[in-house]
Structure 1
Amino acid sequence: MYYFDAILMDIMMPVMDGYEATHEIRNSEKEDAKSIPIIAMTANAFDDDMKKSKTAGMGAHLSKPLAIYHASIVIQNSIPAILDKCKS
């Protein structure tokens, strides 16, 4: 069994987009389905796109191209357990 700290979800994917994939994850029977951080990754940076990501169940939104410093802050803020591990 695999465990992950977060999911970086591309919005524009073939077959199933990131919104639908997030919906499927959030509604699955997996133990961490409701709590795992899902971070949108997309070229769309408008407020409506960010709201759509939140509505779909994503906790954060990163626009491409990524600014690495900003992306690292968003990821760290999305994963409090990692910060707790680093402090101990």
Structure 2
Amino acid sequence: MANFTNEDLAFTGYSQTVDSNNPKNYNAVYVDKTEECEVIHFCNQFLERYKVPQTKASFQKVESFLQNSLLEHQVYREELLDWIASNWIKL
């Protein structure tokens, strides 16, 4: 199981605010690409779901795809996962 943390992120500037009155459902339909915890969960989720190397480099590659300008307006979890998987080798 992939278990990378904030120390493994390539990008900085994510929001670290978590509303304790409204815990995030990290399996929700939408992904908040500005929230550190959600980005970490999404990247780990991708590594677990797809047969890619379970390495820090792969974790950061998922993060880079997630922050790619081509996906700037995409927030649906399943569509993000599918797009990244489809473009894993291409980009």
**TM class by shorter-chain length?**
under 0.3
> Of Structure 1 and Structure 2, which has the larger fraction of its residues in strand?
1
User: Rg bigger for which structure?
Assistant: 1
**TM-score (ref. length: structure 1):** 0.23
Query: Comparing both chains, which one has the higher relative contact order based on Cα–Cα distances under 8 Å and sequence gaps of 6 or more?
Result: 2
